[in-house]
Amino acid sequence: MGMADRRYTELLDSIEATQHSRSGSFEEALAIADPLARGRALDVPCGPGRMAEALGRLGFRAFGADLDSEGYSGSAPFCTLDLNRPLPYADASFGFIYCGDGIEHLESPFLLLRELARILGNDGVLVVVTPNYLNVERRLQFLLTGSLAKAPRRVANYYDGAPFDRGHINPLTLTRLAYMAENAGLELMEARTLLPRRGQRWLAPLALLVRALAIPLKPRRKRDLFAEHTQSWRMLMGGKQLLAVFRRARKPLVPTGLRPSQQGQSL
């Protein structure tokens, strides 16, 4: 899919709520959601609620959820929750879930993906947006600094157990994100990048080297690395943000008995 239809931009422009996520991610996600059956949709973490509001205007029964309600201005029902804990929703209760610019902030991304897989319907779609750490500029940064992201070293001022945002404490490459998702019973359907980084064009020879080094890898190793996506030219020369699309796997890798037994409450 190319750039999202102009009508999604116009829809978002008509909503007064601010947008904390990177420009373009909402439009792309709405283009993915639009062809789906109009059922329940979840925006988590939702921030001010712009995405949830847009999903509602497309005809979905939209819900928003975040760590706190401060700044939330949407009309969709809102739930306060901690994404490091089990989600208070029933199994298979959403046909579309948007998780943008949130998973990299969590202590427990494995838990979140298991919970998102649990509440996603059998024919549902999950869209995850997070920084793209696999383009050549980010790979070179890791080679030089040994760090994927500049993790803040703030010391918590909260000694009463109150939740707070620690920044990008869990930077996830597509390889790691897709691995976590598979173990949660999800299947990677598509991956693309947003916000092109034109300044990295001079690093194109490095991208060619990365692709050449991947040629002798055995097929199983390539599958383990999700090389179809991670070693592709569009990912290596891609933009700042990663958008990954998942659905419930037809043959989950993880036995049902290994998933959390706690059943969410229906909201």
What torsion, rounded to 10 degrees, do the Cα atoms 251, 257, 262, 264 define? 20
Are the beta carbons of 148 and 140 closer than 8 angstroms? no
Domains of the chain in sequence order:
6-152+164-249 (3.40.50.150)
Q: Is the dihedral of CA 227, 31, 168, 233 positive or negative?
A: positive
List the chain pLDDT tens, one digit each, 267 residues. 445 578 999 999 999 877 766 678 999 999 999 999 999 999 999 999 999 999 999 999 999 999 988 889 889 999 999 999 999 999 999 999 999 999 999 999 999 999 999 999 999 999 999 999 999 999 998 888 888 876 565 545 444 555 555 678 899 999 999 999 999 999 999 999 999 888 888 999 999 999 999 999 999 999 998 999 999 999 999 999 999 999 999 875 544 444 444 445 556
Are the beta carbons of 131 and 242 closer than 8 angstroms? yes
**pTM for the structure as a whole:** 0.87
> Any long-range contacts for 5-13 (C-beta under 8 Å, 24+ apart)?
5/31, 8/34, 8/54, 11/54, 11/57, 11/58, 12/50, 12/54
